[in-house]
Amino acid sequence: MSRLIKFTKANVASSLLRRFIQHQNANVLSKSYSAKPSAFNYIIVGAGSAGCVLANRLSEDPSDSVLLLEAGPKDMLLNSKRMMWKIHMPAALIYNLCDDKYNWYYHTMAQKHMYNRVMYWPRGRVWGGSSSLNAMVYIRGHAEDYNRWEKQGATGWNYEHCLPYFRKAQCHELGADQYRGGSGPLHVTRGKTNHPLHVAFLEAGQQAGYPFTDDMNGFQQEGVGWMDMTIHKGQRWSAASAYLRPSFTRSNLTAEVKTFVTKILFDGTKAIGVEYVQGGQTKKVYANKEVILSGGSINSPQLLLLSGVGNADDLKALGIPVVCHLPGVGQNLQDHLELYVQQECIKPITLYKSQKPFKMIQIGLEWLWKFTGEGATAHLETGGFIRSHPGVSHPDIQFHFLPSLVIDHGRVTPYTEAYQVHVGPMRPTSVGWLKLKNANPKEHPIIEPNYLSTETDVWELCQSVKLSREIFAQKAFDKFRGPEIAPGSHVQTDKEIDAFVREKADSAYHPSCTCKMGQPSDPMAVVDPETRVIGLENLRVVDSSIMPSIVSGNLNSPTIMLAEKAADIIRGRPALCDKDVPFFKPRS
C-alpha cells in the first residue's frame, strides 16, 4: 500500500493522466468571480469534513451568501497539466500522510510515558481536509457514545438524534435500511475483496470466539466483519467530492483556497468577520450572520486563542487582548492510540510485490484507465470491534486488518511478505491539551496529548496485543503464519509487552474534543448544544473539536454527521429524530 505508485513520463501515462483530468473536469471544480463582496451571511473557516458539509447545506438557501476559506489548495487541479492523483487514488493514501504539501504536519510534545517520543500528527490542509488524507474507513462509533454525549451536557445529541443525520449524509451501495442511508451525498461501499488473508482474518476472529457482524455501523458493532469505506467507483470519496464540488453550481457560494485565517474580528463580544492572508496580502471579510470555525481539533482552538478567546491568564501572558475568558479552549484533548501486530506470511500473497516499481506502474495505469484493481482500495477491508473483558458495556478495542506491512507511517518501505492488524483502545482515559507557543499565527501550537498517563490506557493497549496474538494463532492462519515480526516472539511477559506498547504505540490520527460541547454552566465547555461559542455572539464551532468525548471508532463519519445536524440547527430547522431504534447490548 505504501509508496504505491511512481509514474513514468511515458506517452501512455501522459495519455491516461489527460483522461483522468477530463473525467474530473466533468464536474465543476471551482468558480471565478470578477467582483467578490466584502460581506457574506456566513463565513466558514476550513474546508474539511465539517466545512464542506456546511458550505453545501447553508448555500441550499439561495438567499444566504456563503464564503468558505481554506488554508490549503484545491484537491483537484493546480493547472491544466497537473492533477492530484495522490489524493484520489485510494491505495496512494500514504503519500499524503507523509507529505506536508496537503498536510499541516503537526508534532506533539515529547511523551513522558512513551520514552519521550515526539508523535507525528498529520492533518489535512486541502479541500476535504483530513477526509482527503485518511484511510477512507467509514465507522460511526457506537450508539452509547452519543447517549454518553447527552449525559455530558450535549443535550439533543443522543443516538436517536444523531442516527438520522448519519443516514441523511450516506448513500450506501447496499441501499437504505433502518441504519443505512441510500440517497445522501457521501457514497459508501462495503469491502468485497476475495483476498485469502482477509477471509482468514474473519474466520480466525470467529474461531477466537467473536461473532461475525454483517454491519458494524448497524444494529451490532461488536464482532468482526467487512468494513465500510468512503470509496466510490474506485476513487476516494472525500467531503470535497461529496459536498463541496456539487454545490459549485450555486452563485451564492464562494470558495477560496490558500487563505490563511489569522484572527476572528469582534465588535465587543460579537463576531463580525475574519482577517486572513492570501497571496501575501492581509485582507478582511465580514459576516452579516455568523462566523463558523471548522478548522478541526487543532486549528479551531488555535484560532480562538489567537483571537482572544480562551484562558485569560494564558492570553495576557502572550500579550493577546482578552475578548472572552473560556478556560476550556484547547483543553480536553483526546486521541486514539494504536499498535501494529505484524506477522510474516509464508505464502507470496500479500501486497509486498505490489510495492515493487514495475508492479506499481501497472497498478497505477490500470487505475488511471478504469479506476479498478489494487489502486482502487485502501486494502483495509476487514476489521472488528471487541470488548477487552466481560462487563464492558460496548466494544472498547478496534481492529483494522491489512494484508501488508506499514512501517513508520509508511515512510519505510516494507521488506517482506507479511500481514498486520492495527489495534487499539477506543475510549482512552488519558486527556491532554494544546496551547499557543506565542501570538504568531504561523507557529504550530504546543500539542500535549498526555498519552498513557493512566494505568487503564496502558492495560488496554497491552490487552490489545494479547488479543491480537490470540486471533493470529487461530487455525484459519495456520497455512499463512510465519514468525511474528512485532512485537516479536521475544516479547512475552507483561513487563515486555508494556515496554513494546510504550515504544511502538502511535496516533490513529483522531484528535478531538478541544472545544468541548456542553452546558454554559460547565466551566470547561466551549460551545453550547447549539454549537454557539459560549459568551459570544454570532460565532460557532462545528468540527471534531466540539465532541464532548471521543467516539468508539474512526472520526470522519461522526464529524460529517455532526456538521449535518449543526446545519439544521443553524438554519432553524426541526431536529431529525429516530425513536426506539434498537442496538445490540451484550449480556455479560
User: Tens digits of per-residue pLDDT, 24-33?
Assistant: 544 444 443 3
Write down the mean pLDDT value for the chain. 93
pLDDT digits (tens, 9 = 90+) for 135-191: 999 999 999 999 999 999 999 999 999 999 999 999 999 999 999 999 999 999 999
- In this prediction, residues 228-232 reach a mean pLDDT of 98
Predicted confidence at residue 83, as pLDDT, reads: 57
Q: Is the pLDDT of residue 445 over 70?
A: yes
Sorted by sequence, the CB contacts under 8 Å of residue 112 that are 6+ apart come out as none
Predicted confidence at residue 178, as pLDDT, reads: 97
- In this prediction, residues 103-107 reach a mean pLDDT of 96
Predicted confidence at residue 8, as pLDDT, reads: 36
Q: Is 510 a catalytic residue?
A: yes
Residue 161, classed as helix, strand or coil, is: helix
pLDDT digits (tens, 9 = 90+) for 199-224: 999 999 999 999 999 999 999 999 99
- According to CATH, the topology of domain 11-570 is FAD/NAD(P)-binding domain (3.50.50)
Calpha distance 274→71 (Å, rounded): 13
Q: DSSP letter at 364?
A: H
Do residues 272 and 313 make contact, with C-beta atoms less than 8 angstroms apart?
no
Using a pLDDT cut of 70, give the percent of the chain over it: 93
Least confident of 67-81, 190-204, 327-341: 67-81
- In this prediction, residues 114-131 reach a mean pLDDT of 97
Q: How far is CA 97 from CA 50, 54, 94, 123, 216, in A?
A: 20, 25, 5, 8, 26
Calpha distance 78→81 (Å, rounded): 8
* Type of residue at 24: Q
Alpha-carbon dihedral angle through residues 103, 105, 111, 113, given to the nearest 10 degrees: 30
- Listing DSSP states for 402-424 in one string gives ESS--BGGGTB---SSEEEEEEE
Matching residue, cell 451564492: 252
Calpha distance 46→48 (Å, rounded): 6
Residue 6's pLDDT band (cuts 50, 70, 90): very low
Overall residue count recorded for the chain in this entry:
588
Least confident of 324-338, 405-419, 528-542: 405-419
Backbone phi, psi, residue 147, to 5°: -65, -35
Cβ neighbours, 10 Å, residue 546: 31
Each domain of the chain, given as residue ranges in start order, spans: 11-570
Calpha distance 169→556 (Å, rounded): 12
Sorted by sequence, the CB contacts under 8 Å of residue 572 that are 6+ apart come out as none
* Cα–Cα nearest to 362, from 11, 4, 21, 89: 4
Residue 36's pLDDT band (cuts 50, 70, 90): low
Q: Which of 172, 379, 394, 510 is the catalytic position? A: 510
**C-alpha cell, 359:** 508492479
Q: Is the pLDDT of residue 5 over 60?
A: no
The DSSP bridge partners found for residue 110 are 118
Do residues 208 and 200 make contact, with C-beta atoms less than 8 angstroms apart?
no
Residue 242, classed as helix, strand or coil, is: helix
Instruction: Output the CA torsion sign for 135, 136, 139, 140.
Output: positive
Cα 164 to chain centroid, rounded: 20
pTM metric for this prediction: 0.94
R_g of the chain, CA atoms, integer Å: 23
